[in-house]
Amino acid sequence: MTDDPAAKARRLIACLDLTDLSDTSSQADVAALCERAVTPEGRVAAICIWPRFVAFAAERLDPAIRIATVVNFPAGEDDVAATCDETRRAVADGAHEIDLVIAHSRLPVDPGFVTAQVAAVKDACGGALLKTILETGELADAATIRLACRAALEGGADFLKTSTGKRPVAATPASARLLMEAAAGAGRPVGVKPAGGIRSFEDAAAYADLAEAILGPGGATPARFRLGASGVLADLLAVARGERRPAAGAAY
């Protein structure tokens, strides 16, 4: 990415999945999120919201911005049929992207279950993009994260996503690197989404630089790179405008 901070901040805004997955989220909050998604410095890539708000957002959001929603969230249970039903309803309501929490607790003993889970949800997506949330902060080590990546990719995942943002450990540069390396070696275009704990321009830029280095030129573009965050937009806007920066926002 460019070394000019203002230009880099604008490119990061374009890769942002602006998120509200708070337990108290309301229609009013989602309406405000839709408004925030269109900024004087450009649009975000997507908003990420609870499934119950997808139809509401579809009536209000700038059509150039995608709607992402979460399924099997946040626990990552193993009821595949229920998750597929949830996915189909969300797509019918207008979701363009599905962020699936895999059954990460089953990985060490039954990675094939995760592959089958991802494949089933991928089928339920129809034409929607499937991002798989691996919950890397809950996985034991790098080998288990690689196993999660392999299971998700074999199931047909379009994106590998680090975290729900609901656990003590969310995205880290080390976990993001493992996901990017897996995506780079997938043999097909696969994206990566660091999510949770991204609070500043510097946080976001470090992940984008990593994507460019590992995924190759153009790796830090919305087609292959997203940032899952709720509180970083204000800081990115301040950098883009050359303004005094606010305190870093809270992670979701």
Q: State whether residue 247 is helix, strand or coil.
A: coil
**246 within a domain of the structure (yes/no):** no
Residue 131 has pLDDT above 80, yes or no: yes
The yes-or-no answer on residue 193 being catalytic is yes
Asked if residue 85 has pLDDT above 80, the reply is yes
Identify whether 161 is a catalytic site residue.
yes
Given the residues 99, 158, 203, 235, the one annotated as active site: 99
Residue 132 has pLDDT above 80, yes or no: yes
Please give the sequence-ordered ranges of beta strands (E in DSSP) within 119-173, or none if there are none.
Answer: 129-133, 159-161
State the average pLDDT over residues 208-226: 96
In the chain, the number of structural domains is 1
Tell me the C-alpha distance between 70 and 85, whole Å: 13
Q: Distance between CA atoms of 166 and 12, rounded to whole angstroms?
A: 23
Q: Which of 122, 193, 203, 235 is catalytic?
A: 193
**What integer pLDDT is reported at residue 140 of this predicted model?**
83
In a domain, 247, yes or no: no
Q: What is the CATH number of the domain that holds 130?
A: 3.20.20.70
Q: Is residue 43 part of a domain?
A: yes
Q: What's the mean pLDDT in 150-154?
A: 98
The residue annotated as part of the active site, out of 8, 161, 203, 235, is: 161
Q: How many CB atoms lie within 10 A of CB 39?
A: 18
The answer to the question of residue 60 being in a domain is: yes
Q: Which two tokens stand for residue 127?
A: 């034409």
| 245 in a structural domain | no
Structure-token pair, residue 237 = 């806007």
- Is residue 95 situated within a structural domain? yes
**pTM recorded for the entire structure:** 0.95
Structure confidence at residue 251 (pLDDT): 44
Q: Active-site residue 99, yes or no?
A: yes
How many C-beta atoms lie closer than 10 Å to residue 62's C-beta?
12
Is residue 9 assigned to a domain? yes
pLDDT tens digits for range 188-197: 999 999 999 9
Q: What is the pLDDT of residue 218?
A: 86
In a domain, residue 236? The reply is yes
pLDDT tens for 29-52 read 999 999 999 999 999 999 999 999
Query: Which structural domain range is residue 110 located in?
Result: 5-240
Residue 252 confidence (pLDDT): 42
